[in-house]
A and B are shown apart, each in its own frame.
Chain A
């Protein structure tokens, strides 16, 4: 594209950033979220002020007011916007209103976690209570062989006919079970959309065909992942990597803009039966079976972490990926500060670089501190 020619031909027009291409300002790098294509592009934050100027001035006025250096930078940004189809020239950009930024879901609780280790829970009661709250997605995570393939099948049957649409499982690999055993549970229960087997003897994947033909087959097939890594407790969670960032969509962008990406409308039953926002969070709201789930989730104290916005979290508020990151409020870099960034995030918005979070000073000491607190909580329950 000859950007010089375009800029001369369109002096009377506005550079219009499409409504579904939303700029997000970060410290060193800023981003444009393409909510329709589900991608994020980043660029140096020095260019960000130009994105604010283009809303207010026609291109000609804008170019005339720039120094030679700024003009070159601005044209470079324009080229980037046009090449990626984030913007176009419009005489009247007011004809394209912004996409409403509200978010809501037709349920009190949208997703839930059940952790299992040394004891079973009353799964039928949990599912019945989640059903009453309209819960759509359930994840069960097991740290011992107590909850295996048979139990997963039984849980899936309990979920049948309830509000729960998807069931994800992360279980310990049982060497006494064959691949066919696991595949049979997944194949026979369409609610089970993913199964990960940790503590396995090798890293591999197993595709489960659910009998659909043609293009539908790719959509309906399920995958069982075997991994040699071991999940020891709820503290082995909260990992934020590039791969864990969400491909942005309008609903997720709006939700993460206003609410916490992980805890919003979530409830958890930890391995000892305590009800928490997340199994790794310190505060318990009582033991399942002794208190009603509906009463717990209605409490203001329970709903407070739902509104832990990234814009109010230190360091995260300067991150260009903050509306694509599902955060972690359980394991923090500073365990005593509620607004601390997640412990297991390796991104530094001040240098725009990803590193291994474990190599950060004090990171492993903080992990050990959380382990101590967790052991005490288990003993107390």
Chain B
């Protein structure tokens, strides 16, 4: 047990191409119980914040009798 914060393990995050904020940043064993771990761990999928632009015309181009 140690009160010191562990150094951030950035290498893995960097290798995965994840922005740094996607990783848990506070890891002191003394204060980390299971619920705290859960509440602090942000396990976001890689592309969670990407937005998909779906292209659609605003209105029908024609109105065929189909």
Chain A interface residues toward B at CB < 8 A: 111-113, 136-137, 139, 141, 165-166, 168, 170, 193, 196, 198, 212, 216, 219-220, 225, 227, 229, 231, 236-240, 244, 246, 249, 251-252, 261-262, 266, 278, 326, 328, 344
Contacts and interface: CB of A to CB of B under 8 A. Distances in A.
Interface in B41-66: 52, 54-66
Given A111-B57, A166-B57, A139 B52 contact: no
6 contacts: A137-B57, A216-B52, A219-B52, A220-B52, A225-B66, A262-B62
A254 B52 CA distance: 26
B43 to A, nearest CB: 15
Contact of A238 (B54, B56, B57, B63): B63
Contacts of B56: 166, 193
Given A231-B66, A251-B58, A328-B63, 6 more contacts: A113-B62, A225-B66, A231-B64, A239-B65, A246-B59, A326-B60
B62 A141 contact: yes
Contacts of A236: 64-65
Contacts of B54: 219-220
B55 A237 contact: no
B32 to A, nearest CB: 30
A36 B9 CA distance: 46
A136 B66 contact: no
A227 B66 contact: yes
A63 to B, nearest CB: 41
A246 B65 CA distance: 17
B58 A198 contact: no
Nearest to B50: A216
Contacts of A261: 59
Contacts of B63: 237-240, 244, 262, 326, 328
Contact of B65 (A113, A212, A229, A249): A229
Given A219-B54, A220-B52, A220-B54, A111 B61 contact: yes
Given A111-B57, A137-B57, A166-B57, A212 B52 contact: yes
Nearest to B52: A216
A166 B61 CA distance: 11
A237 B65 contact: yes
Contacts of A198: 64, 66
A344 to B, nearest CB: 7
Nearest to B63: A239
A363 B60 CA distance: 24
A168 B61 contact: yes
Contacts of A225: 66
A139 B61 contact: yes
A154 B66 CA distance: 25
Contact of B62 (A139, A165, A220, A227): A139
A113 B58 contact: no
Contacts of B66: 170, 196, 198, 225, 227, 229, 231
Contact of A170 (B55, B57, B64): B64
B65 A344 contact: yes
